[in-house]
């Protein structure tokens, strides 16, 4: 049965469908020696390479789902040529895995890693309203006006952020729960209001809480996966 090349690369655990489309657009993928178009399909026996690496079919391999506590200074990329302090080299997991979403270099905390491309796209869809919880400290005292303005939405990146839950935890510390993932969203929101982020830690993604020391990971439990799949049941797998 023929399968779209982006779906195939996702299913074998090479990357997400979105990342596969980017690789195809940049001419980094070949099927039987030829650069395909977006939407091309592959069949059994086709020879597939990505950036010169032969892709072996891994669909029988066990699906991996990890919860990792990313330290500050580690970059959420699988491209070892661009960034020596990348997440894959740091973990040194024996199976090919890739991060679900990003935490910027200066941030720390919970991030998923997996070889299941379908679950990646489901989680990343901002419109699915999947919660992500962060603990943030800033450079000066927080007041109620700051909390209210952060909650109601801040104008950044030519849009206004969605309403979100914000709670003050200390003089310069707060908790925020987001359901969208704009680039460096919390840092940009704080900067817009005249604050600078000092520390930023993600402590929860949906039903999964951060409970391992910095720099360590664990596999998701069966109960966690069941609940995660329940929450993702009606989520779209693909990007518009």
pLDDT score, position 238: 44
Q: Is 104 a catalytic residue?
A: yes
pLDDT score, position 102: 87
pLDDT score, position 209: 96
Burial class (CB in 10 A: 0-12, 13-18, 19+), 186: buried
Q: What is the DSSP string of 118-150?
A: HHHHHHH-GGG---EEEEEEESS---HHHHHHH
CA neighbor of 180 nearest in space, from 126, 109, 123, 118? 126
The answer to whether the beta carbons of residues 221 and 151 sit under 8 Å apart is no
Alpha carbons within 13 A on the beta-carbon side of 105? 7
CA neighbor of 51 nearest in space, from 12, 9, 90? 9
DSSP-derived pairing of the beta strands 53-54 and 159-160: unpaired
Interatomic CA distance for residues 166 and 135, integer angstroms: 10
Q: What is the DSSP string of 183-208?
A: TTHHHHHHHHTT--EEEEEEEEETTE
Task: Identify the bridge partners of residue 75 per DSSP, sorted by sequence position.
Answer: 86
For residue 239, give every residue at least 6 positions away whose Cβ sits within 8 Å of its Cβ, in sequence order, or none.
Answer: 17, 18, 121, 125
**Average pLDDT by consecutive 10-residue portion of the chain (240 residues)?**
84 79 92 91 86 67 89 86 80 86 94 86 72 97 97 95 97 96 94 98 96 96 92 62
Structural domains in the chain, sorted by start? 3-54 (3.10.290.10), 65-118+210-231 (3.30.70.580), 131-205 (3.30.70.1560)
Tokens read off for 200: 């930023």
The one catalytic residue among 46, 79, 104, 158: 104
User: Angle at the Cα of 69 (from 67 to 72), degrees rounded to 5?
Assistant: 145
């Amino acid at each position: 049965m023929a399968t779209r090349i982006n779906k195939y690369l996702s299913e074998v655990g090479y990357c997400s469908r979105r990342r596969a489309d980017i690789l195809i657009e940049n001419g980094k993928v070949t099927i039987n020696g030829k650069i395909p178009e977006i939407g091309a399909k592959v069949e059994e026996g086709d020879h597939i390479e990505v950036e010169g690496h032969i892709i072996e079919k891994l669909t029988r391999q066990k699906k991996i789902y990890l919860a990792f506590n990313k330290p500050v200074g580690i970059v959420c990329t699988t491209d070892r040529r661009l960034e020596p302090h990348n997440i894959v080299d740091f973990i040194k997991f024996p199976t090919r895995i890739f991060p679900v979403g990003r935490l910027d270099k200066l941030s720390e905390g919970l991030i998923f890693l997996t070889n299941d491309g379908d679950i990646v796209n489901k989680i990343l869809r901002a419109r699915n309203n999947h919660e992500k919880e962060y603990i943030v400290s800033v450079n000066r005292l927080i007041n109620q006006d700051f909390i209210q303005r952060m909650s109601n939405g801040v104008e950044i990146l030519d849009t206004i952020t969605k309403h979100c839950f914000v709670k003050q935890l200390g003089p310069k510390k707060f908790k925020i729960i987001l359901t969208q993932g704009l680039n460096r969203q919390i840092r940009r929101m704080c900067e817009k209001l005249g604050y600078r982020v000092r520390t930023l830690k993600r402590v929860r993604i949906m039903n999964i809480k951060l409970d391992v020391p910095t720099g360590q990971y664990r596999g998701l439990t069966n109960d966690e996966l069941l609940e995660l799949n329940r929450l993702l049941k009606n989520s779209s797998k693909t990007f518009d």
